[in-house]
Amino acid sequence: MKELLIAPSILSANFGFLAEEIKSIDKAGADWIHLDVMDGHFVPNLTFGPPVIKSIRPCSQKPFDAHLMVTNPDEVIEEYVDAGVDIITVHKEVTPHLDRTLTRIRELGCKAGVSINPGTSISGLEFLLDKLDLILVMSVNPGFGGQTFINSSLGKIKIISDLVGKRPINIQVDGGVNSEIAPKVIKAGANVIVAGSAVFKEGNVESYKQNIKSLRH
């Protein structure tokens, strides 16, 4: 059985104190730091890019997990590698040559992931399993934090879990996951839980620690 990992999304952090927030979730027991990169084109929001990531990289030794919600991932991958990320996930919907993109990410020394939106089929992923380290199931429509979990995502997670089998591919779920939803997605086969508001509510290390613990257990 794969290790259960909690990846707090800094999208819900206090950006006025971002460095301190990264240190706090590290201390609170986060396994990965999840970076929601949005370009204002693929999704209707704009967040941050390589300069911000590079500036916070020294704040934690935990893996930096970059989810690129951008229309041009192939053009910017190297910038995120240079900024210090460890995992790069691109969207199936905007990446025409997924095999090539995933191969390039690995060549640059990062782990490679693919993300699929709620309305996107998993068709074709069966041909890419040897190039993948992670499959991210979006359980909300990407672009905003604080949305409600889409229940049909559970069926998709189960299908992906069956497809992956015993391969060393992490199955990540992102969107609307809280302590009530987490057991359901874990039962369906996910082992990496992305959570934003469910982790960062109340705004202090002790609450972050408790929130991460409640997701884990």
Q: Say whether 65 is catalytic.
A: no
For the record, the structure tokens of 53 come out as 């990531």
Distances (CA, A) of 80 to 15, 22, 50, 202: 19, 18, 6, 30
Q: Which H or E run includes 182?
A: helix 182-188
Strands 64-69 and 87-91, by their bridges, are parallel
- Report how far residue 187's alpha carbon sits from residue 51's, in angstroms, rounded to the nearest whole number: 38
CA distance 82 to 84: 5
Catalytic residue from among 26, 31, 133, 174: 174
Our answer to whether residue 162 is catalytic in this structure is no
Active-site residue (options: 26, 36, 65, 133): 36
Give the active site residues. Answer: 36, 174
